[in-house]
Amino acid sequence: MHNNPHFVSLMHIEFRLNYDLYLLSLLIVIIMKAKCGHMTEKSYADAHGGLCRKCHSNFSFLLELEQKYGEDALIEYWYGKILTYPLETKQDVHCFINHLMEFYQQKLTEVPSKKNYIKKMLYMLHSIKEPFDIQTLR
């Protein structure tokens, strides 16, 4: 063993530095832009369909609402939510509508028996996202 206190001190510093670097490596989180456009941890987005925490939480709630109370309750909820959003959150509204449109688009192939219902939902969402001017139709 080394009796030199400076050598022991250097070994302690080297060990402490390696240990601190190891702990730091555990804390490093890769941040990315999720497919919803928000910034999130890569591991979270990879595990939740490319969505950030907020969007995934909103979307999970919608799926649970539909399972518990049916399609009509879901429609009433998201339609009411969209119509009552304050103007400051317009970006959130577009994000929410995009998620719904993507969800219903996917459901078209998964649940062909509900094709008419799903097309109505897509039409409503599209018309909310990009309203048309009745004057242009005349």
Cα gap 73→65, rounded to integer Å = 7
Main-chain dihedrals φ then ψ at residue 34, nearest 5 degrees: -75, 170
Q: What is the pLDDT of residue 55?
A: 84
Minimal CA–CA distance to 97: which of 66, 126, 133? 126
Q: For residue range 118-137, what is the model confidence (pLDDT) as tens digits? A: 888 888 888 877 776 666 65
Q: What is the pLDDT of residue 136?
A: 64
For the chain, domain boundaries? 51-129
Q: For residue range 57-107, what is the model confidence (pLDDT) as tens digits? A: 877 888 888 889 887 887 788 778 777 776 557 777 788 788 888 888 988
- CA distance readout (Å), 78 to 45, 49, 91: 23, 20, 16
pTM greater than the 0.85 cutoff: no
Instruction: Please name every residue paired with 31 in a beta bridge, in sequence order, or none if there are none.
Output: 41
Rounded to the nearest 5 degrees, what angle is found at the Cα of 120, between the Cα atoms of 117 and 122? 110
Q: For residue range 10-56, what is the model confidence (pLDDT) as tens digits? A: 565 666 767 776 666 656 667 878 887 788 888 888 888 888 888 88
R_g over Cα of the chain? 25
